[in-house]
Amino acid sequence: MKTWKSDAMGERSSRKVALEILTRVEEGAAYSNILLQKAGEHLDEEERGLISELVLGTLRHRLRVDRALGHFLHYPLESLPPLIRSILRLGAYQLLFLSRIPKAVAVSTSVELAKQVGHAGTASLVNAVLRRLGTEGEPPLPREEEDPAGYLSIAYSHPSWLVRRWVERFGWEGARALCEANNQVPPTCLRVNSLRATREEVLSRLREAGVHVEPSPFLVEAVRIHGGPVEERQRLFEEGLVSFQDEGAMAVVHALNPSPGWVVIDACAAPGGKTTHIGEWMRNQGRILALDIHPGKLQALSRHCARLGIEIVEAHHLDARETGKRFPGIADGVLVDAPCSGLGVVRRRPEVKWRVQPEDLQELQKLQVELLGGVADALKPGGVLVYSVCTLEREETEEVIQIFLRRFPRFSPTDLTPYLPFPLQDGQREMARSGWPAGDGTAGDGLPLSAHPWDRWVLHRQDGSELSTG
């Protein structure tokens, strides 16, 4: 990447940090949420908020931003250097979506960034394009009645191929609601470490520190943060009283429902959020085998366990496809939190929708089936296998399970609804079984939010009979 010149104050501005993150996301396949977390460690709340808004907003609305920029460029946007391309996107996002930022400020700060990383010619280009966009506005959107899917794709900045398959599957209104939900800002969630604190104790400390916080209405271990200073939540993290985790990810362990004393295998364990949650759920009694193919990530997982006081986790450098051979017949429960497209967590990782291509889904399916097949022989008779992915695409959900059950007929599917940590209303049970969201008004990648996907999981028992779906 470009080496940054120093500001007059010797520090990088918020927009410069945002630019660096956007460029790293595009060039190096980095994840925005991880980069934002690292960038915000030593910044105040206002700076963190602006950087997050600029980065995530630009990524969420990239297609619409690119279309607007293309209207005022004489050559393809993709032909520009990545840094200049990101500067234009950053400026255009502010012009189109952030009315609280004056247009002159959006343009001038973008031009200053161009001067920092480019030359006079590129700065002039940025100035000319953004000034015209600020004055003339974006070109009209496609007419909804003429091209419904095309309108959704541009208006809500989602890839056309993805919108068209959602329209075919869920109808126009369902696809629209899903795209709209993907562009909403999710909350910050904490999981309380029940080995060391109660939720009431954590809530009390956060409120005393001025944090805007509420208990999750669905998960007894979850806390939602809506703003306020970050110092106290960081202290709670360092003391091992909480972990940062989405509610949908927490709900997966409810589906597994492990008991103290169980032997559990977390087959794709890193970075360890679900592994440590299992340890807390089991009251630090039993045995958890955490497997991953990345040794460095396993070291981080071990540090995570030490921070939380979880002593029953054994880290193993192992490809999960070899699990059954390495640990035959020992597990009461196995969790396969498989690599996937991530198309169910676009709210938190908006860059995912620009990276995934249709052909990727079949490749991922092959790996997911291999992972499930690799862990099958590790379960005891009657053991529980939970398959979890953060996507709602059929290739990675229903089709994976169908293939697995054909190859391993001794397994049978179990109705998930009794294990869900939230109530289902009339007519929602089938939605839960199909992986479509149910209910209203919760945030975050996995729990019921009107027309928003959750982490998709399927529960199996190795007992030879399908349980009642009630």
At 404-432, the pLDDT tens digits run: 999 998 888 887 777 776 655 443 343 33
Q: At what angle do helices 14-28 and 82-97 cross, to 10 degrees?
A: 120
Start-to-end CA distance of the chain, whole Å, equals 56
d(CA 11, CA 322): 49
Predicted confidence at residue 230, as pLDDT, reads 87
* Range 226-231 average pLDDT: 88
Who wins on pLDDT, 119 or 176? 176
Band of residue 440 on the pLDDT scale cut at 50, 70, 90: very low
* Range 88-98 average pLDDT: 97
Instruction: List the catalytic residue out of 268, 305, 340, 390.
Output: 390
Q: Which residues contact 366 (CB under 8 A, 6 or more apart)?
A: none
* Range 364-370 average pLDDT: 97
pLDDT at 139 over 60: yes
Band of residue 308 on the pLDDT scale cut at 50, 70, 90: very high
C-beta of residue 346 within 8 angstroms of C-beta of residue 182 = yes
Predicted confidence at residue 421, as pLDDT, reads 67
Band of residue 455 on the pLDDT scale cut at 50, 70, 90: very low
Band of residue 13 on the pLDDT scale cut at 50, 70, 90: confident
- Among 118-122, 367-371, 405-409, the range scoring the smallest mean pLDDT is 118-122
Tokens found for residue 433: 């079984």
Predicted confidence at residue 402, as pLDDT, reads 92
- Among 17-31, 98-112, 120-134, 351-365, the range scoring the smallest mean pLDDT is 17-31
* Range 90-99 average pLDDT: 96
pLDDT at 227 over 70: yes
C-beta of residue 340 within 8 angstroms of C-beta of residue 368 = yes
**For 419, what's the count of Cα atoms within 13 Å in the CB-facing half-sphere?**
22
The mean predicted confidence, pLDDT, of the chain is 86
d(CA 52, CA 259): 39
Band of residue 12 on the pLDDT scale cut at 50, 70, 90: low
Structural domains in the chain plus CATH codes: 14-136 (1.10.940.10), 148-182 (no CATH), 188-244 (3.30.70.1170), 256-461 (3.40.50.150)
Residue 390 falls in the annotated catalytic set: yes
Predicted confidence at residue 279, as pLDDT, reads 98
